[in-house]
Amino acid sequence: MPIKHPNLKLNRMTDAVPAWSGDIAPDDLYAICQQVREGGGRLVALWGSDARIEKNCFMLHVTLMTESGLICLNVKLSAVQPVYPDISRIFPAANRMQRAAYDMLGLYAQEGHDHRKWLRHASWHSGSFPLRKDFDGSSHLNAPHPNPLPPAGEGANVHSPAENGIQTLDDYAFVQVEGQGVHEIPVGPVHAGIIEPGHFRFSIIGERVLRLEERLGYVHKGTEKRFESMSLQQGAKLVGRVSGDSTVAYAWAYAMAAESIANIAPTKRALWLRALLLERERVANHLGDLGYLGNDVALAFGFAQFWILKEQVLRNNAKLFGHRYLMDKIVPGGGSANISAEGKRIIEEECAMLQREVSILRGIYDEHAGLQDRFISTGTVTPKLADQLGLCGLAGRASAQAWDARVQFPCAPYDKLDVRMATYRNGDVAARAIVRFDELFESLRLQREILANMIYEEGEPTPLEKLPANGFGIGMVEGWRGEVMVAIHTDGEGKLARVHPHDPSWQNWPLLEHAIIDNIVPDFPLINKSFNLSYSGQDL
Amino acid sequence: MENFNLNLFFAILFQLAQLLVVVLLAPLLTGWVNQCQAWLQNRSGAGVLQPYRVLRKLFHKDAVMAHNASWLFRVTPYIVFGCMWLAAAIIPIIAVDLPFSQAADVIALVGVFALARVFIALAAMDIGTSFGTLGARREMLVSFLAEPALLMVLFTASMISHSTQLPRIVESLAYHQFVLYPSLAFAALAFLIVLLAENARIPVDNPSTHLELTMIHEAMILEYSARHLALIEWASSLKLLAYISIGVALFFPYGIVEAGNWAGLPLAVVWLLLKLLVAGAGLAVLETVTAKMRIFRAPEFLGTAFLLAVLGLLIHFLLGA
């Protein structure tokens, strides 16, 4: 039992990772969170659900992580006035999740200091909440375009806000920095290169960055709402597309959550295969990022070399599993991937090749004075700050936050693999590159280990078709970026009532704002790339 | 009298030939540098003709202009292109003693480059976007340090040949008895650094970046499109060609013929192509092995160039060589 509190009764969940759930009243939320925080725990995710039909209430779900496992707090909120105490003072990472919970469901964090919208831009009314069950999505499809272009020659505000009830412009109050010589650079959401959209507002003096404020949500696509009308297997496809570079992690977490509700265990071979795919995803992404890091300091040589290697991995993925990024290879109940003796040989050869090539490239990166000059002490996140703000995943491990779900909560087959965690203290771009290198080599070792231990002959797994009614399950997998969590709630008929995929980028985006402070503007792309966070994964 | 007129006529023919050759050859040089880089980086590359395709594409597009763009923004591409073309015309590339080269000496040449820079920086600020201003600001930071270094390099060469006219410098270095000038060795190193900085090459700037926050030159021209962008791109190629030609004229002035020397012309063209091939490949190697430095390292880098150039000058005074 991870914590004790008089008003909290925890039940062990039938989950692959150690997890407990408990129902609490809103008044107890703050104290329990504080207790977890004092014990060194962290916030994983915060989301809401609409349970007015079954229980006549809204629910707020908060997942916390302690050293002994996950705690899922289900907070019952009033159906008329859904309010709960603000917990962003304990877990600063909760800020944006709370704002998103308001935008999507109208759950309001009382006494919070920041109530600006987050996921809602100008696409829907401020008073309507898309994730409520009574929200009619179709009516909004016919609404006038939220940002009509002003007719030429006339005033800009021809369409007053009152005219169609939707704001004509997306007004968002950025924090202003004032002082002599301070000015702002707005960057994005449309960038000069082909990357995901996000807006960055720099307040600078000369080249020095005084403050950065992010504005995301440009890739909001109603993913969570879409789940509500999907079957379990359709949902597995959608969850694999929340953030394409982490498709294996999402698909596994989703499968884990579904299997936890159904209380079944997939076949051993399916589990080994999932781990193999997850490590391959990690290798491909780390290779790509190391190339990008070289590219951002104009060392195009490194970019080309790492991307040749990444391409090799992707092509082998396509050859062995039928998809370059391994989408739809994990489904609840099992997996559709398979591997033959020939495949085993190909992967072993690839691992040996990568081991050799990446070692050489690491030597070049380590000894390149120009590159190291750009990497070292750039975009530093101190371990203290990382702990305070809850930096997680790969970036967290580069700032001495020793959390890795494969190590702390090893689900099968990681319990037999003895994963070695890669950590570093410096928290700068160089540290994040080092952690990537270390994890890459560890993933190569794990792949070999998996191939050696895998059970090859076993009956086909039966895909899970239906879940029990009123179930709740969570799955958590250490993706390459950090811990990916998926929560599934089923309704009275066992259909998907609410699916919440949570990306580690939620926790890490705010840290980027801190990492850039006192650095110079031209170093931002490098720092940003060293985190390489997902836009799509958090915009949902 | 008749003879003189014929000579002048030939000289003008040579001048026109050089004008045509540089303007047509410049994109090829850029293409060659890019292709060499691609080969060095294990890529197949777009081919040496890619810059011509880009120019053709840009000339066929409709130009988009910001609403608040003034005349300055419109005329800048033409001024920049004109400046670079003029610069390439007065540098002895194929032949010395060209009629145009009398018009300007090396100091005026630096002035021509400065004129183009002032216009492009003003045009960048004219639009009022934050990137334009950012780029203009950085460009000025780099160039006000690069210019004195360039002048020092040119002075060293002028001291040796007792003239600030580029053709005279070339003549005195190429046609007199072969002497090793240690002062020129320092000047050559300084010039290389200036060349990298002034042409927005790695390690000072990255001509192929798409990261708007790190750009210098590219940030200034972000708002240009179609024919305006084509002219600026073309001007950049001309500038690179001009700089390499100055370097060649100062430090490897062999294979250049006198205007009117028809017999030597084919060989001179071959020499020119050879020199550009080698210089372009060398530039590609340099850019492949270096990373871009932090922008505030650029002053140190260019300070080194200035120091080297001054050292060259001092050596000339002390050793007379």
**Most confident listed range (A122-131, A152-161, A517-526, B7-16):** A517-526
Bridge partner list, A235? none
Amino acid, res. A358:
V
The CA–CA distances, whole Å, from A98 to A106, A113, A476, A538, B254 equal 10, 11, 21, 13, 73
CB distance A207–B295 less than 8 Å?
yes
pLDDT in tens, A329-363: 998 987 767 788 889 999 999 999 999 999 999 99
Bridge partner list, A84? A109
Q: Residues of A with CB below 8 A from B35's CB?
A: none
**Alpha carbons B78 and A466: distance in angstroms, whole number:** 69
CA nearest neighbour of A224 among A501, A521, A421, A15: A501
Residue A263 has pLDDT above 50, yes or no: yes
Q: Residues of B with CB below 8 A from A299's CB?
A: 290-292
The packing angle between helices A524-531 and A268-296, to 10°, is: 170
Backbone angles phi, psi at A472, to 5 degrees: -145, 125
Backbone torsion region of residue A40, taken as left when φ is above 0, otherwise alpha when ψ lies between -120 and 50, otherwise beta: left
Residue-level pLDDT at A157: 41
**Alpha carbons A379 and A430: distance in angstroms, whole number:** 9
Cβ atoms A484, A17 nearer than 8 A: no
Cβ atoms B235, B116 nearer than 8 A: yes
Across A247-336, the runs of DSSP E, i.e. the strands, are 330-331, 334-335
The packing angle between helices B298-319 and B130-161, to 10°, is: 10
Residue A404 has pLDDT above 60, yes or no: yes
CB distance A185–B42 less than 8 Å?
no
Of B42, B134, B294, which is closest to A304 when you measure between CB atoms? B42
The CA–CA distances, whole Å, from A471 to A47, A118, A281 equal 16, 29, 30
CB distance A186–B130 less than 8 Å?
yes
Q: What is the largest CA-CA distance in chain B?
A: 61
Residue A142 has pLDDT above 80, yes or no: no
For residue A477, what is the enclosing H or E element? Answer: strand A472-478
Closest Cα in chain B, distance from residue A312 (Å): 14
**Alpha carbons A383 and A374: distance in angstroms, whole number:** 21
**Alpha carbons A533 and A142: distance in angstroms, whole number:** 34
pTM of the predicted protein model: 0.90
Residue entry with tokens 């079957």:
A231
Q: Residues of B with CB below 8 A from A522's CB?
A: 213-214, 294-295
**Alpha carbons A410 and A308: distance in angstroms, whole number:** 32
CB distance B291–A371 less than 8 Å?
yes
Cβ atoms B64, B226 nearer than 8 A: yes
For residue A61, what is the enclosing H or E element? Answer: strand A57-66
CB distance A296–B211 less than 8 Å?
yes
Measured from the Cβ of residue B33, the count of other Cβ atoms closer than 10 Å reads: 26
Give yes or no for A308 touching B (CB within 8 A).
Answer: yes
Distance of CA B166 to the CA centre of its chain: 15
Per-residue confidence band for A1, with pLDDT thresholds at 50, 70 and 90: low
Residue-level pLDDT at A150: 44
Across B87-222, the runs of DSSP E, i.e. the strands, are 95-96
- pLDDT in tens for each of the 321 residues of chain B? 455 677 778 778 888 888 888 899 899 999 999 999 999 998 898 999 999 999 999 999 999 888 888 999 999 999 999 999 998 888 888 777 777 777 778 888 899 999 999 999 999 999 888 888 889 999 999 998 999 999 999 988 888 888 888 888 888 877 766 677 888 889 999 999 999 999 988 888 888 888 888 888 888 888 899 999 999 999 999 999 999 999 988 888 877 777 667 777 888 888 888 999 999 999 999 999 998 998 888 999 999 999 999 999 999 888 876
**Alpha carbons A469 and A491: distance in angstroms, whole number:** 6
* Rounded (5°) CA angle A292-A293-A297: 110
Bridge partner list, A109? A84
| Strand bridging mode A183-187 / A11-12 | unpaired
Tell me the mean pLDDT in the region A456-475: 82
Residue-level pLDDT at A160: 40
Structure tokens at A313: 């991995």
Of A186, A301, A374, which is closest to B288 when you measure between CB atoms? A301
**Alpha carbons A371 and B246: distance in angstroms, whole number:** 31
Give yes or no for B179 touching A (CB within 8 A).
Answer: no
Residue A47 has pLDDT above 80, yes or no: yes
Q: Is the peptide bond before B203 cis (omega within 30 degrees of 0)?
A: yes
The packing angle between helices A232-239 and A247-262, to 10°, is: 150
| Strand bridging mode A69-78 / A83-85 | unpaired
| Strand bridging mode A183-187 / A199-205 | antiparallel
Helix residue ranges, H only, B41-105: 50-60, 71-90
**Alpha carbons A269 and A335: distance in angstroms, whole number:** 9
Distance of CA A436 to the CA centre of its chain: 18
The CA–CA distances, whole Å, from A330 to A228, A239, A280, A336, A412 equal 20, 11, 14, 6, 15
Amino acid, res. A374:
R
Amino acid, res. B88:
A
Per-residue confidence band for A138, with pLDDT thresholds at 50, 70 and 90: low
For residue A21, what is the enclosing H or E element? Answer: strand A19-24
**Most confident listed range (A148-157, A205-214, B16-25):** A205-214
CB pairs under 8 A between A and B: 81
Tell me the mean pLDDT in the region A223-228: 91
For chain A, what is the mean pLDDT? 88
Residue A484 has pLDDT above 80, yes or no: yes
**Alpha carbons A298 and B138: distance in angstroms, whole number:** 17
How many separate helices (H) and strands (E) can be counted in chain B?
A: 11, 2
Q: Which domains does chain A have, with CATH numbers?
A: 11-110 (3.30.460.80), 223-539 (1.10.645.10)
Residue A156 has pLDDT above 70, yes or no: no
pLDDT in tens, A432-446: 999 999 999 999 999
**Alpha carbons A314 and A334: distance in angstroms, whole number:** 22
Backbone angles phi, psi at A320, to 5 degrees: -85, -35
Backbone angles phi, psi at A215, to 5 degrees: -135, 110
Closest Cα in chain A, distance from residue B203 (Å): 8
Cβ atoms A446, A279 nearer than 8 A: yes
Q: Taking CA atoms, what residue in A is nearest to B206? A: A298
Measured from the Cβ of residue A324, the count of other Cβ atoms closer than 10 Å reads: 15
Q: Residues of A with CB below 8 A from B211's CB?
A: 192-193, 296, 525
Of B202, B212, B291, which is closest to A374 when you measure between CB atoms? B291
**Alpha carbons A437 and A293: distance in angstroms, whole number:** 12
The three-class DSSP label of residue B108 is helix
DSSP output for B261-310: -TTTHHHHHHHHHHHHHHHHHHHHHHHHH-PPPPGGGHHHHHHHHHHHHH
Residue entry with tokens 């003693």:
B97
pLDDT in tens, A75-125: 999 999 999 999 999 999 999 999 999 999 999 999 888 899 998 887 777
The three-class DSSP label of residue B169 is helix
Cβ atoms A407, A422 nearer than 8 A: no
Cβ atoms A412, A271 nearer than 8 A: yes
CB distance B294–A184 less than 8 Å?
no
Residue entry with tokens 């934050």:
B130
Closest Cα in chain B, distance from residue A206 (Å): 9
Structure tokens at A144: 């006038």
Give yes or no for A353 touching B (CB within 8 A).
Answer: no
Give yes or no for B44 touching A (CB within 8 A).
Answer: no
Per-residue confidence band for A155, with pLDDT thresholds at 50, 70 and 90: very low
Per-residue confidence band for A458, with pLDDT thresholds at 50, 70 and 90: low
The three-class DSSP label of residue A469 is coil
The three-class DSSP label of residue B62 is coil
Residue entry with tokens 């890019």:
B34
CA nearest neighbour of B262 among B6, B2, B37: B6
Q: Taking CA atoms, what residue in A is nearest to B295? A: A522
Structure tokens at B97: 């003693």
CB distance B288–A207 less than 8 Å?
no
The CA–CA distances, whole Å, from A324 to A90, A180, A316, B157 equal 41, 52, 8, 59
Residue A165 has pLDDT above 60, yes or no: no
Q: Taking CA atoms, what residue in A is nearest to B138? A: A207
Residue entry with tokens 């006198």:
B258
**Alpha carbons A104 and A135: distance in angstroms, whole number:** 10
Per-residue confidence band for A152, with pLDDT thresholds at 50, 70 and 90: very low
